[in-house]
Structure formats: structure tokens, C-alpha cells
Amino acid sequence: MKILITGFDAFGGEKINPASLILNKLGDEIDGHRLEKLFLPTKFVGSADILEKKIIKTRPDIIISLGQAGGRTDITAERVAINIADASIADNDGKMPIDEKIRWDGENAYFSTLPIKAIVENLRKEEIPASVSNSAGTYVCNFIMYNDLYFADKYKNISAGFIHVPYLPAQVLDKRGMGSMSLENMVKAVEIIIKTSIAYKGKEDLAKAEGRIC
């Protein structure tokens, strides 16, 4: 199988983004499956075109996108992407769309087709804190997750989804009380996520309670 894995550059005043640092640490293969890496700019305009070109070129079986969720304390497997861009800070182009549809010809929302419950279970087995998230926000990560799933639908037979990761320890030195996770653990987590996604390709996800009351 071929796995396309994407990560963003730093945004919002940060100097680094753990998502792209994780990509740098991953090898080119995992259990004999090819890993294709794609570094994406944290921009609404142009990033989806870069993604589509890479999909056409590499024809992946699985797409896993990574992004930083500053303030979260664990690895979160996103359940859903919604057809809206509503930015609270400017992207790396200075753009700040307000309540814009991502795609006029797309669904209102797409559910992740990665095995999010199995991913959370397998991460916890390795003592990596993880949970299902029911919102990827309305910024560039939701935008790319939405596009991952839009293209998965367009090009067929692709499983796709999004994983948010916390800040790295170096990013929270000036943010007292803020959650973080070491790069080593994040890389280990992403390897588990890739292996789980491969193992579950074409299969139903685990049926396991990971919902929230509110």
C-alpha cells in the first residue's frame, strides 16, 4: 500500500509545527508500505491544489494529515470535517475567511474513513494519551481534512482522515500549564496510526464507546 502523510508549517506566531517535524522523522517505508510525505503551507489558498497534485501523482491508498492543536493534551483522531472556513487568526498568507464554504460541490461534512476508534485504542495500549475529537475546528486543518475526504471521494478507494497533535515541550516553555508531548512519542504515535490504518483498510472500525456527552 501507499500512504500519503501530510504536515503543516509553523503558523500563528509559533516558530515550529510538530506536524512537519514528525514527517521529517518518519522513514520512507513502514512494514514494507511506501510513505509519501507532503509538507503543506498553512494557507487556505493553494494548499488544496498542492494536495490534489500529490494525490494524482502518487495515487495513495491512505491519506493521513497531521496538524498542531495547541492546548490539547493528547493525540486526537478527528471524526469529521465540515464545509466551512471561519478563521480566528490570519493564515500564512494573511487570509482570514469568515463563514466561507470550502467547496460548493462538496457535502456539508465528511466523516473520517480512518479507523479512529482502533487508533485511539492502539495508542493507549502503548501508553500514549489519545482520544476521538468531534471537531477539527474551522481553520486550515479542517480545510485540509475536508479536502482530503473530498479528493478521497473523487479519486476512489482512498481512506483518509486527520490527526491533531499537541504542542512540543519547546513550544510551551513560555506557556505555563499548557499541555505538550515529546517528539519521540508523537513519532511513535504516528507510526502506530499508520500501521492501524493499514491493518483496517477495507474493514469496519472498532465499535467502542469514545463519544462525549457534550
The residues binding ligand PCA (CB under 6 A) are 8, 11, 17, 19, 42, 67-69, 137, 139-141
Q: Nearest approach, Cβ of 139 to ligand PCA (angstroms)? A: 3
CB of 8 or CB of 151, closer to ligand PCA = 8
Which run of H or E residues covers position 76?
A: strand 75-78
CB of 146 to ligand PCA, least distance (A): 11
In this complex, which beta carbon is closest to ligand PCA, that of residue 167 or of residue 200?
167
Has 141 been annotated as catalytic? yes
Shortest distance (Å) from residue 63 CB to ligand PCA: 16
Q: Point out the catalytic residue in the list 14, 52, 78, 100.
A: 78
Minimum Å gap between C-beta 87 and ligand PCA is: 9
- The residue among 1 and 10 lying less far from ligand PCA, judged by its C-beta, is 10
Of the candidates 146, 161, 134, 160, the one whose C-alpha atom is nearest the C-alpha of residue 83 is 146
Instruction: Give the nearer residue to ligand PCA in terms of CB position, either 39 or 155.
Output: 39
Considering the complex, state which of residue 55 and residue 69 has its C-beta at the smaller distance from ligand PCA. Answer: 69
> 190-193 — which CB contacts under 8 Å span 24+ positions?
190/5, 190/22, 190/26, 190/64, 190/66, 190/163, 191/26, 191/30, 192/119, 192/122, 192/123, 192/126, 192/128, 193/64, 193/75, 193/77, 193/114, 193/119, 193/122, 193/123, 193/163
Q: Give min distance, CB of 73 to ligand PCA, in A.
A: 15
- CB distance 195 to 31 below 8 Å: yes
Q: For this structure, is 214 an active site residue?
A: no
What is the DSSP track for 84-153?
-B--SS--TTS----SB-S-TTS-SEEE--S-HHHHHHHHHHTT--EEEES---SSHHHHHHHHHHHHHH
| Catalytically annotated residue among 107, 141, 191, 204 | 141
Query: Catalytic residue positions?
Result: 78, 141
